[in-house]
Chain A
């Protein structure tokens, strides 16, 4: 039956419970500690963000028991209901959370393979790396894959580097950013009609264009430029109106999804002007992307991939970075999606680069590392991997964990020199292995329910297991 023996480490008691292994730091530092220094010392516009005073102090004595690095969550993690309290989107709100977990730093950590000293120095190492004239990307990837500390804007800078948006040579940053940001500005000017323009056109379309006295330019436009082919009632493909109707359908979809992006987070949702302006930014980016990529346009779920990028960039303590978050997010989104673009393209579903093929690779990976589990899922209970992993893969695990945990997973995904997809598949495979006992005991229904509502998990542990799957099948 089972040809390959399950390697011992798979059945280790480590996997079955969400044991407190090394949790890479994920503490949201107190916003009060941010010094907004770099916006004032402008000339090389982006200084790598300095750590807040407390953290800096910490760096001097890294290896002792440290307080700034709270394991994000100790043992059993919160259930999904309490996710808002963790993420709760205003960084400062999370302090209380972390101080609770701080009390529970687990001594077993020392037994584990990763040393806590390594953990502690992560932030210092990242800051050192970021302060080099030319950043060693290999080194940056290596350190960042262990997790990027929250607060102090490190993640924002590191993600931009990992996604190739910022070049490794820091002297090029300012010119590169200026170029990209003005490019995005042009995209917006060309591709986004402002709402009043839309209203005006709609009114005209509905036959309310008699009232033409108010604006002369409007009058000129509406009277002299409309050729026969551009008449609103023309259904020819060339008609700008035809395109306009198509566009408005996409925009409607985008609006609908943007409004329901993380409804539990004040950053994205609610009536505050802050949330509204953030929604507006997501909307602009998705519309510009859809118009620049007519082969893909907008696919539902893109908003979920966009959200973590924008959240991280918008929370950069550097004022200039914060102000330009929309433009920066756009290019990073394009970059990130370029590795996964084919998953969003219906024409490629059955090709070797499409989503089905990627799901098959996950299935092979599981078979290679845990054939017993693979057999139980796909042969015995007939759980097609598409039933659970379609969303895992297309949305880069953003829906399976709380927001803070997803961001932590992304640190590792984005750091991988092979590109995020290989790591993503290993993490998905590790997710299966971590709950293998429950899966092996389950039938079709219980398996699918478990995998479609993946239980709260110690993310560092998950990433540790995923990393163990790297290039070492279990023979």
Chain B
């Protein structure tokens, strides 16, 4: 098999209870929405195949439990992740405030301790459809500020219910994870002096736009 044309990428979805992690994943993979998803216990696992340029990519998405009790069990799921999706509910202030905890916890448990800032995160602000946006409490500006303070994390506003921006957001996830994987490969092949060149132009484009290149 030509490894350069296929990639298996591991993505972890984190965020508070009820922000819509399972819904986002189901909307993306199955194009379905339900008001009634059961609470996720442990972590659920789905895959989605997509093609990026000439490369066939399999996203392995781990939908984790939101309750704090399950966090200490996270490390087993986090290991080997290529991208971490943080999700909050734009209508619930607390779910935005706890992003710091989720971010820290993930970095602590999974990121490369030598360079924790390099790990690709992405933020989704979900449920923007609720009450036509009138019950929203976290502004887009606030969210983008937070992203900027965490090393220019790409940000997407989504509605899992209406399928709004979900596909686009996950496509960005896939691209970021793929970039990260390039780095891994090169890291293996050529040692660290090449490492920084490994961060490709695409990534800097992303940063300039404050969003994702997709």
Could you give, for residues 34-55 of chain B, a 1 whenever the CB lies within 8 Å of some chain A CB and a 0 otherwise?
0011110111110100000000
Question: Could you write out 11 A-B pairs with CB less than 8 Å apart?
Answer: A260-B38, A300-B66, A300-B67, A300-B70, A301-B41, A344-B69, A346-B71, A355-B73, A387-B43, A399-B41, A445-B47
Q: Which residue of B lies closest to A259 (CB)?
A: B36
A35 CB–B CB distance under 8 Å: no
B214 CB–A CB distance under 8 Å: no
B60 CB–A CB distance under 8 Å: yes
B211 CB–A CB distance under 8 Å: no
Shortest beta-carbon distance from B166 to chain A in Å: 21
B138 CB–A CB distance under 8 Å: no
A386 in contact with B45 (CB, 8 Å): no
In the bound complex, how far is the Cα of B62 from the Cα of A452, in angstroms?
Answer: 12
Residues of the B chain whose Cβ atoms lie less than 8 Å from the Cβ of A448: 45
Residues of the B chain whose Cβ atoms lie less than 8 Å from the Cβ of A399: 38, 41
Residues of B in contact with A (beta carbons under 8 Å apart): 17-18, 36-39, 41-45, 47, 58, 60, 65-73, 76-77
Shortest beta-carbon distance from A303 to chain B in Å: 8
Q: Which residue of A lies closest to B36 (CB)?
A: A263
In the bound complex, how far is the Cα of B191 from the Cα of A6, in angstroms?
Answer: 45
In the complex, how many residues of chain A place their beta carbon closer than 8 angstroms to a beta carbon of chain B?
29
In terms of DSSP, what is the predominant structure of the interface of chain B? mixed
Shortest beta-carbon distance from B2 to chain A in Å: 18
Task: Tell which of A260, A355, A445 touches B36, judged by Cβ atoms closer than 8 Å.
Answer: A260
Segment 251-270 of A: residues with Cβ below 8 Å from B = 253, 256-257, 259-260, 263, 269
A349 CB–B CB distance under 8 Å: yes
In the bound complex, how far is the Cα of B37 from the Cα of A387, in angstroms?
Answer: 19
Task: Tell which of B17, B42, B72, B76 touches A253, judged by Cβ atoms closer than 8 Å.
Answer: B17
A384 CB–B CB distance under 8 Å: yes
Residues of the A chain whose Cβ atoms lie less than 8 Å from the Cβ of B17: 253, 256, 300
* A390-B44 contact, Cβ under 8 Å, with A349-B73, A355-B73: no
A299 in contact with B69 (CB, 8 Å): yes
In the bound complex, how far is the Cα of B18 from the Cα of A394, in angstroms?
Answer: 20
In the bound complex, how far is the Cα of B17 from the Cα of A459, in angstroms?
Answer: 33
B67 in contact with A253 (CB, 8 Å): yes
B65 in contact with A300 (CB, 8 Å): yes
Task: Tell which of B41, B66, B67, B77 touches A391, judged by Cβ atoms closer than 8 Å.
Answer: B41
Q: Which residue of B lies closest to A350 (CB)?
A: B72
A452 in contact with B41 (CB, 8 Å): no
Residues of the A chain whose Cβ atoms lie less than 8 Å from the Cβ of B58: 445
Task: Tell which of B41, B71, B73, B77 touches A395, judged by Cβ atoms closer than 8 Å.
Answer: B41
Shortest beta-carbon distance from A291 to chain B in Å: 17
In the bound complex, how far is the Cα of B13 from the Cα of A288, in angstroms?
Answer: 32
Shortest beta-carbon distance from B113 to chain A in Å: 21
A214 CB–B CB distance under 8 Å: no
B39 in contact with A260 (CB, 8 Å): yes
> Besides the contacts A253-B67, A300-B70, what 18 more A-B pairs have beta carbons closer than 8 Å?
A253-B17, A256-B17, A300-B17, A300-B41, A300-B66, A300-B69, A304-B38, A344-B69, A384-B76, A386-B73, A387-B43, A390-B43, A390-B73, A391-B42, A394-B41, A399-B38, A448-B45, A449-B45
